[in-house]
Each structure stands twice: as structure tokens, then as C-alpha cells.
Structure 1
């Protein structure tokens, strides 16, 4: 069973990203939204952790949130808009929002 994991909290304020990365399987996807996009700051531990997993689960970032924070989108993560987010959420068997 595949799961889309949705993170919206900064990886610098708690350990949700670390916990999520431990649970990801090869069929899962990870979508960064809100302040979770700060994980893409180049040279940071969260960015390095995500880049190491770039080949396994599908990695996505919400385009509007990354633009709002003025961050670059690395080539190894797919940037999506809100309609693609909706489509993505029905592609997976379930969606887990890390609140």
C-alpha cells in the first residue's frame, strides 16, 4: 500500500521530517508544503537527507510555497501546483499529513 506523506512544518523546528524519512518505503511519496520547503535550503542537513533519497520515494514540493519563500528547487525534486497536488493525492492509496 502506497502513502503520500505531506509535511508542512519547518524541519528546523521539530523532528517530523526525520520521523517521516524513517517510515518511507519505496512506494511512498513525500510532498513538502508550507514551511517544510525550508528543508530545500542548500547545504543544510535536511536538504542532504532528502537528496540522498532522491532515487527512492517520489519527492515533491508545492511550487507556490517554494516561490513564496524565495528558495531554489533542486533538480532531484519535482515541483507541483495545487491541481497536481489533488491529482497526486488520489494516485496514492492513502495520504498521511504530518500535523
Structure 2
């Protein structure tokens, strides 16, 4: 069952990102929100983990949070809130990593 995983916590404070990446299925997607967008900072261990995960078209980041942190990334597709809702409806389940 395809799942949209939503991470909002900084990847530098705990192991949520690594745990999430281990559990991602072939049809699952990952949406980074809040401080989780810091995982897209080039050169970081979190960025390397995302690259190694091979998510291609299944990695998203909330554009508002990217802008608030002056980040951009070619690795993740930036989405607005409307697209966030559309993603939530597209996937069978949404799993928020609290």
C-alpha cells in the first residue's frame, strides 16, 4: 500500500530520517516539511542519505519551508500546500513521523 511519509523534524537531532528511509517501500514517497528540509543541505550526511535512497520523483519538500530557511534543492521537488493535499490524496496512507 503506497504511503506518503512526512518528516518535519531536523535530521540532525535524531534518527527519524534514517529510520524512515529504511522503511520506505518502492512505491512510497517522502515529504520534508519544517526543519526536515535541512536534510537537503548539500554536503550533509542527511543529504547523502537522501541521494543514496534513490527516490528520484518521490522526494518532495514544502516550498514555504525551503524559502523560510533560504534553501533550494535539485534533489527534491518543491510543493505548495495545494500540492501537499494532492499528494496526501494520491497515496493510500500518510505516515507523519512525529
Corresponding position of 1:84: 83
Give matches, 1:35-46, under 5 Å: 35-46=35-46
Report the TM-score, using the length of structure 2 for normalisation.
0.94
Give matches, 1:3-82, under 5 Å: 3-55=3-55, 58-73=58-73, 75-82=74-81
Report the TM-score, using the length of structure 1 for normalisation.
0.94
Shift of 1:76: 2.7
Q: Take 1:11 and 1:53, find their aligned partners in 2: how far apart are those partners?
A: 15
Q: Deviations over 1:19-63 (max 9, x none)?
A: 000000110000000000000111001001101223457100000
Seen in structure 2, the aligned counterparts of structure 1 residues 77 and 54 have a Cα distance that, compared at 3 Å, is farther
Partner SS, residue 59 of structure 2: strand
Contact conserved, 1:10 with 1:39, CA < 8 A, in 2?
A: yes
Contact conserved, 2:4 with 2:31, CA < 8 A, in 1?
A: yes
* Equivalenced residues, count: 98
Contact conserved, 1:62 with 1:82, CA < 8 A, in 2?
A: yes
Contact conserved, 1:26 with 1:57, CA < 8 A, in 2?
A: no
Could you list the structure 1 runs, at least 4 aligned residues long, displaced by more than 6 angstroms after superposition.
Answer: none
> Which consecutive residues of structure 1, in runs of 5 or more, have no partner in the other structure?
none
